Structure 1
Amino acid sequence: MMYNKILVAYDRSEDSEKALHQAVKLAELNHASIHLVHVSKESHKFSNQPEIRIPYGTGSIGNEGHAGVPSPVHESGRDGALIEKSEGEAMVREVKETLYHMGVNVDSDVRVGDPAKEIVDLAVMTEADLIVIGSRGLSGIKKWMLGSVSQKVAQQSPCPVLIVK
């Protein structure tokens, strides 16, 4: 089977690193291009507690010796997702540069939402010939509750899926 466009799901987990290496080998063999995708989960979807952040540099210790603690900043909704997305973009940019220097033709996307759905949608949109994904991502216990992303991708994908472990 010849592959022209290989979609690789990447989240810095050990399995996604292995998936990326495998995809690069396949791309080199097939003279294929790689489309790198990172999906940031919608922030705080699984928790009702907004994340609390103390703004840096705003706490001061008064003469009485107690800390003047600033009021916490509540991050919720799109705000948190934007922070996640920009971290994802930085991560993807790094990998993209490395691949570019190796002579691999690479595109990338950072999406926010349900990882399996976003990966499958992108595979359809880019007409990918193959999806390469690690068997386990960074999600830990959530994965156990929600079913593995790689399993969902394999079930819903329009093209073959290579699950790397």
Structure 2
Amino acid sequence: MFAHIVLAYDGSYSSKKALEKAIEFAKNNNSKLEVVHSLHNRAAIIGEAIFTPSDDYEKDYLEHTQVIIDKLNDELSHIPNAKATLLIGNPVTTILNYAYDISADLVIVGNRGLSDVKEFFLGSVSHNLVQHSRIPVLVIK
């Protein structure tokens, strides 16, 4: 059915549920599974001032994120054709571009359970993946 799956993972409860389903799906369909975590350092904009994280903060954040990727690769080690990868940049853009670059035919993402009103005002990775993807997106609740 789907030969190459990308799972967007952020460490949240819903992404952990999505990981369980993606592993099950990949095993049952003998699919290649790529779990991606997108590292995105945001700048805070207050009025006309832009505040960016310090170099130490960015280094610590990158190291923490690499620990997540290493743990994911350990968890995926018993699954053939599965790996975790760290992406850097806007989550929606980097996840979709990665999926297109590797010719994935399905993106799986967890839903954080935001209400429609909050999702409308804040936007969410899952919502934007569904809206902008050229390939199917499966949202796991």
State the TM bucket, normalised to the shorter chain.
0.7 to 0.9
Contact 1:129 1:159 in 2 (8 A): yes
Structure 1 or 2, whichever has the larger Rg, is 1
Q: State the TM-score, normalized to the length of structure 1.
A: 0.71
Aligned Cα root-mean-square deviation (Å): 2.3
Measured after TM superposition, the shift of residue 41 of structure 1 is 1.4
2:81 paired residue among 105, 116, 122: 105
Aligned to 1:46: 44
Distance 1:143 1:98 in 2: 31
Is residue 130–residue 159 contact of structure 1 (8 Å, CA) maintained in 2?
Answer: yes
Q: Look up the SS of the partner of 2:77 in the other structure.
A: helix
Q: Distance in 1 between matches of 2:119 and 2:64?
A: 21
Superposition pairs for residues 19-98 of structure 1, below 5 Å?
19-42=18-41, 44-47=42-45, 48-49=50-51, 75-76=54-55, 80-98=57-75
Question: Which digits, 9 at most, give the CA deviation of each residue in 1:120-162, with x for residues without a partner?
Answer: 111101111110101129xxxx977541111111111121100
Q: Show structure 1 runs of 5+ residues with no match.
A: 52-74
Equivalence map 1:130-145=2 (5 Å) = 130-136=106-112, 145=121
Q: Percent of aligned positions with the same letter in both sequences?
A: 31
Shift of 1:37: 0.4
Who is 1:55 aligned against?
Answer: none
Which blocks of at least 5 consecutive residues in structure 2 are unaligned?
none
Tell me which protein shows more helix as a share of its residues.
2
Matched to 1:31, the amino acid is N
- Tell me how far 1:97 sits from its aligned partner: 1.1
Partner of 2:74, secondary structure, is helix
Which whole-Å CA distance do the structure 2 matches of 1:135 and 1:155 have between them?
A: 14
Give the partner amino acid of 1:7.
Answer: V
Q: Please, what TM-score do these two structures have when normalized by structure 2?
A: 0.82
